[in-house]
Amino acid sequence: MGAHIVFARFPSLDSFRIRPWTQHTAEVTGGEPAASSAGSGVVVWQLSSANHRQLARSALVHRTVLDAIDDASTVVRETDGEVILVRKDGAGAFGWYLATPYRILALCPRWYATERERRHSIDLVAGALPGAQLSLTVRVVGADHTEELPAVERVERLLRR
């Protein structure tokens, strides 16, 4: 398997496990991550390499698995995105996000210590994103456990649209 997009569901936006995700999004983009639609729990996606290294992550926090799948599918197909370079105030930290004039599509999974690392990250995402496959599972992150749930039916329904 090459690059792939994996999904993770958290109990709520107040969960301590989602806070680092939303805090990083706010730092990189300068705003809080928007939540889409209504539902229980929150779902995010991340682009991972063949060796499961995180390359990029969703800019949105979704209320349903289907919303996250739809967003990830859109980002994979999007060809008009522009990479916006950012720096963390007061630190030698370099980041980036991918955006269209209408919304932020994806962002760096972490801050990079050097400009060279940031550029390498952008190059990896540019090569991996267009051919990324959607994962057929959703990782459920609870207060003290993680389990895999099949998402095959949801993905197949979305792809038939």
Q: How far apart are CA 43 and CA 59, in angstroms?
A: 11
User: Beta-carbon neighbour count of residue 93 at 10 Å?
Assistant: 17
- pTM confidence score: 0.83
Q: How far apart are CA 24 and CA 17, in angstroms?
A: 13
Nearest residue to 89 (alpha-carbon basis) of 153, 7, 39, 30 = 30
Q: How far apart are CA 62 and CA 69, in angstroms?
A: 9
**Strand duo 104-107 + 54-58: pairing:** antiparallel
Q: How far apart are CA 17 and CA 152, in angstroms?
A: 25
- State residue 37's pLDDT score: 47
Nearest residue to 149 (alpha-carbon basis) of 2, 3, 4, 7 = 7
- State residue 128's pLDDT score: 94
Residue 152: both structure tokens together: 């095959």
- State residue 36's pLDDT score: 53
- State residue 75's pLDDT score: 93
Mean pLDDT of successive 10-residue stretches along the chain, which has 161 residues: 88 84 91 60 92 93 89 88 90 91 94 96 95 84 59 54 51
Class of CATH domain 4-160: mainly beta
Nearest residue to 103 (alpha-carbon basis) of 120, 124, 81 = 81
Q: How far apart are CA 133 and CA 2, in angstroms?
A: 8
- State residue 14's pLDDT score: 80
